[in-house]
Structure 1
């Protein structure tokens, strides 16, 4: 199902971070989407930023295309969207964020693929949209549903919680 008719492009816009957070923790997504941002004080976020800046110093960073902000891009016959991540423990969230960017760009008429970078592991992973539009559209609808809730969803405790910037909001 194409969301074009249901959500015109300007209404569809959500951030890639929101897609990412949906797959990490819907509670985190709700807080973030309601302007409660804790990342600026989190050491893991700082480490990720440091790796991003140092490892890819020659790349033009934080590229804005339409309403999305991408870590960096490389141009060619197909635009390469590059996202830098600290580790692979949340690989599904990273992949869905990359798929969202490709989906969004496709809606703008731009052919793209994505590359996830894991500099600490010295690994990359290529991501293409190939037949996964419905999966992205379902994620978009779920992000919109979570954002529209009157209160944050009940958190589900997991091992990733201890490193989360929002830990104190959920568990203290």
Structure 2
């Protein structure tokens, strides 16, 4: 897969794993993140964590926004491990994009509030899986309508909660 073919952001990979409806809404510029206290808290955590790291917030082709990078690792800073699978998918995607550019790294997901760091490596199985994620994302983005609502345990904390669920019978 050529880097020029990839038109997916890391955030879109994260949203695919969290909620395909959220991915569609965000991709169609229906945004509620600006009003979310949780998103603001995450931005503040990101800005105040790991200040001594030399390379922070590296942006590549407006697709990948790496929080921390050094000679061995790339890192993502997250406020909570509640979305650990989505966090891992996002970081694996970043590792994949970098590998397409000839840059090999291992990944670390930092959860400073939990004093936890998860190390992530790109495997052959994941290399085969990522193009499927990208195809799913493109299909969701091209769809005329958002995917059906699915009630996840974390919906009530989502910035799209009132858009999706207010007025609905529980």
1:41 is aligned to 2:23: no
1:84 is aligned to 2:77: yes
Alignment match, 2:18 = 24
Moved >6 Å (runs of 4+): none
TM-score (norm 1): 0.89
Q: CA RMSD in A?
A: 1.3
Q: Which secondary structure does the structure 1 equivalent of 2:81 belong to?
A: coil
Unaligned runs of 5+ in 2: none
- For 2:27 and 2:164, locate their aligned partners in 1 and report how far apart those are by CA, in whole Å: 16
User: Superposition pairs for residues 139-150 of structure 1, below 5 Å?
Assistant: 139-150=133-144
Q: Which secondary structure does the structure 1 equivalent of 2:113 belong to?
A: coil
- Shift of residue 58, structure 1, vs aligned partner: 2.9
Q: Which secondary structure does the structure 1 equivalent of 2:21 belong to?
A: helix
Unaligned runs of 5+ in 1: none
Between Structure 1 and Structure 2, how many residues are aligned? 163
Alignment match, 1:53 = 47
- For 2:75 and 2:11, locate their aligned partners in 1 and report how far apart those are by CA, in whole Å: 14
User: Superposition pairs for residues 1-172 of structure 1, below 5 Å?
Assistant: 4=1, 8-59=2-53, 60-67=55-62, 68-74=64-70, 76=71, 78=72, 80-131=73-124, 132-172=126-166
